[in-house]
Structure 1
Amino acid sequence: MAEPSNKTQRQDRNQNPRSWIDLPDDVTASILLQLGAIEILVTAMNVCTTWRKICKDPRKWLTIDMCDVSVYGESPSPYPMDKLCRKAIDLSCGNLVDISVHNFGPDDLLKYITDSCRGIKRLCIVYSDIANSGLIEAAPMLPLLEDLEISYCNYRLDITPFNMFHCIQHGYLEVIGRCCPRLKSLKLNKYNNHNTKYNFDGWDGDAFAIAGTMQGLQHLQLFENRLTSKGLGAILDGCPLLESLDLRQCWHINLEPELAHHWLVKLDEELQSRCIDSIKNLRLPHDSKHDYERLAAEKLVHKEFVEESKNYIVSS
């Protein structure tokens, strides 16, 4: 019997085209996993019944990463980010363990997250309106938390003259430290405009809170923090398990001899030796920030701060 020709095979394929719906569910699921949470919620779930069923599987929502990229441009977001995030949380059916929220989110969203899911191990909040009071309320609901990032959230509280009483703003860290005994990684990244007279003084509130309540930390990033050598010493004493420490842009400490005179910060040679001897991965204040993963958020905050500073000066 003669083998079918290539032409015949092509005709058969054209007459009986394969459909995405005919793919096995596990293959379809693998393909859909390449999409982001927003694309799945807005588009994929509405393609067909089969895709919708696969997208609603709670196992697909153990990790949620949602970012409103519109804030980096001029156009407003076409999506209701808060509503979509809550929908994703609901789809996890309480099984959520890892969630990242970028560029949106009020306090009540954080409350919704912690009320809906009690097994969260990683929480990342970047450029959000979630306040310290919201973090204090949420902390007792996160007993399994191991990895926490709080970057550029309510940044006005970190910058005088917008809040002249910034020294009381570290209380939420103490609550988190006490309520989250499994915490191993903390990224606490802030914005400080170093060109104003208000930010010349160092401040160790964050450092003392971390040192006093987070003894199990292994990884700590304090980008643009105003801690001094005293605060750094407290962290080294209180967090003996630290393996990595990122102090980039922390201008109130100086572990580099050649730059000590330039920044008028007294070099603490003993502290320098302790850092080098005990920390495997150490990033110094003047190290390059080219690989800093929050550069986009930092630039956005700087732009807002410059604009608001102008308005503050005009109204004063």
Structure 2
Amino acid sequence: MIGEGGEEPPACDRNWAELQRDVLMVIFLKIGLMEVLRATGSVCRSWRKVAKEEPDLWRSIDMTNHGYGSDAFLLTDPTRLAIDRSGDRLEEFSVEYFGDADLLQYLCDRTSVLKRLCLISCYQLSDEAIAETAKRQPLLEEVQITFGSFSEKVTEVVGKECPQLKSFKLNNTWFSVPPPDPDDDEEVSDDVEALGIAKTMHQLRHLQLIGNRLTNEGLKAILDGCPHLETLDIRRCYNVIMDADMRARCARLKTTRFPGDSVDDYEFEADADREYCSDDEFFPELDYDYYYDYDDDFENYVLDFEDIFDDDDEDDELGYMF
């Protein structure tokens, strides 16, 4: 509304509580998951209602690149709350550092329509936990595992449980992948992971194996066992020799990245090389007391904001954001 003199009213006079649901959805998706969890409930009743009762808002939960480093465990409760709000519509789930068997079980108990799963630096996860998750998510089409403490047989485990798998990423840094233990009773080949892919992932279209120990034999097995493969990324796979025969075998692919190609666009480097919250240039200092009430769980912390709007007889008041 234009006021006297043709001037628009100041922003503070606008009724932000009357924004339409579709507009709020756009706003919430842009500000990020944590801001929706910790802030929108304190604005007004209509904002809180959309944040709590709109499962489409929670179809994708991305808890990576958060900057918490070793304090990532603090994100466990808000992640569970976000899973609860998805209402069995969660299709994409990404977690970094704090993903463990309990969290994945919590996820699988509340959704069975997951299409994309991304696990980064989740060293506490075993083959069994990954296998159980894959088994309970029959619609999975994309799986990414970057850094971890799983065994070489994890590829076969995932491939068996995910028949619709179209994209698979198993990434590491070559120098941090330990060679087989010569004292082991069972001989382990550098191509165990590659052979697991070739044996089970026949519908695969996209494969990324940065920093893998596979050899030419393993790569040949993949190319033979995955006839639908379109893109291949084997950067830092220094056991692969890209001779004329190997390049000829890869010629049918649409996109290829070979062992010596640049990794400048690779989002994840070795954990030892990464900076966490101590580097303000990348991750400004976080006030954890602002995020959490340590005497209660995260759900109760969020509910603390809702007491502001318990009186239905009064108009909504805008919170501190505006």
Is the Cα–Cα contact under 8 Å of residues 202 and 226 in structure 1 kept in the other structure? no
Are the counterparts in 2 of residues 187 and 220 from structure 1 also a CA contact under 8 Å?
yes
Q: What pairs up with 1:235-246 in 2 under 5 angstroms?
A: 235-246=222-233
Aligned ranges for residues 70-85 of structure 1 at < 5 Å?
70-71=67-68, 76=71, 80-85=74-79
Q: Classify 1:82/1:15 alpha carbon distance in 2 versus 1 (closer, same or farther; 3 Å).
A: closer
User: Greater share of helix residues, 1 or 2?
Assistant: 1
Does residue 228 of the first structure (1) align with residue 223 of the second (2)?
no
Q: Give the whole-Å Cα distance in 1 for the aligned partners of 2:20 and 2:152.
A: 52
Tell me, yes or no, if the aligned pair for 1:71 and 1:103 is still in contact at 8 Å.
no
- Give the whole-Å Cα distance in 2 for the aligned partners of 1:137 and 1:196: 26
Is 1:193 aligned to 2:175, yes or no? yes
Which residue number in structure 2 is paired with residue 145 of structure 1? Answer: 140
CA separation of 1:28 and 1:130: change in aligned 2, threshold 3 A = same
**Among candidates 60, 82, 86, match of residue 92 of structure 1:** 86
For the 8 Å contact 2:36–2:51, the answer to whether it is kept is: yes
1:194 is displaced (CA, Å) by 6.4
Q: How does 1:89-238 map to 2 (within 5 A)?
A: 89-128=83-122, 129-154=124-149, 169-193=151-175, 203-238=190-225
Deviations 1:242-300, CA, capped at 9 Å, x for gaps: 10000000010121xxxxxxxxxxx4x3222111x221100000000001122375733
Query: In structure 1, what residue type is equivalent to 2:233?
Result: D
Inter-CA distance 216–9: structure 2 relative to 1 (3 Å threshold): same
TM-superposed deviation, 1:151: 0.5
Q: How far apart are the structure 2 equivalents of 1:279 and 1:194?
A: 29
State the one-letter code of the partner of 1:141: R
CA contact (8 A) 1:202 1:228 kept: no
**What residue in structure 1 maps to residue 249 of structure 2?**
274
Contact 1:139/1:176 (<8 A) preserved:
yes
Moved more, 12-21 or 129-138: 12-21
* Bigger mean CA deviation after superposition, 37-46 or 83-92: 37-46
Alignment equivalent of 1:65, drawn from 52, 55, 62? 62
Q: How far 1:66 moved relative to its partner?
A: 1.2
Counterpart of 1:70 in 2: which secondary structure? coil
Q: Could you tell me how far apart the structure 2 residues matched to 1:84 and 1:229 are?
A: 44
Alignment of 1:54 onto 2:50 = yes
1:162 counterpart residue number: none
Equivalent AA in structure 2 for residue 152 of structure 1: F
TM-score relative to the length of structure 1? 0.77
Distance 1:127 1:194, change over 3 A: closer
- In structure 2, C-alpha distance between the alignment counterparts of 1:223 and 1:283, rounded to whole Å: 10
Q: What CA distance in whole angstroms lies between the structure 2 residues aligned with 1:218 and 1:24?
A: 40
Q: What is aligned with 1:309?
A: none
CA distance in structure 1 between the partners assigned to 2:155 and 2:195 by the alignment: 10
Q: Does 1:300 align with 2:274?
A: yes
User: Is residue 235–residue 258 contact of structure 2 (8 Å, CA) maintained in 1?
Assistant: yes
Kindly provide the amino acid, as one letter, of the partner of residue 30 in structure 1.
V
Cα 1:36–1:6 shift into 2, 3 Å: closer
1:130-153 deviations in Å (ceiling 9; x for gaps): 222210221210111101100012
Aligned residue identity for 2:164? R
Amino acid at match of 1:254: I
SS at match of 1:242: coil
The whole-number CA distance in structure 2 between the counterparts of 1:209 and 1:49 is 52
Structure 1 unaligned spans of 5+: 158-168, 256-266, 302-316
Q: 2:94 is paired with a residue of what secondary structure?
A: strand
Q: Tell me, which stretches of 5 or more residues in structure 2 are unaligned? A: 182-187, 276-322
Which secondary structure does the structure 1 equivalent of 2:13 belong to? coil
Q: Compute the RMSD of aligned alpha carbons.
A: 2.8
Q: What's the CA shift for 1:181? A: 0.7
Q: TM-score, normalised by structure 2?
A: 0.75
User: Does the 8 A contact of 2:231 with 2:255 survive in 1?
Assistant: yes
Partner of 2:35: 39
- 1:195-228 Cα deviation digits (max 9, x unpaired): 98879x9700100000000000000000000000
Deviation of 1:36 after TM superposition, in Å, equals 1.1
Matched-pair contact (CA < 8 Å) for 1:120–1:142: yes
In structure 1, give the amino acid aligned to 2:27: I
Pairs aligned (count):
267
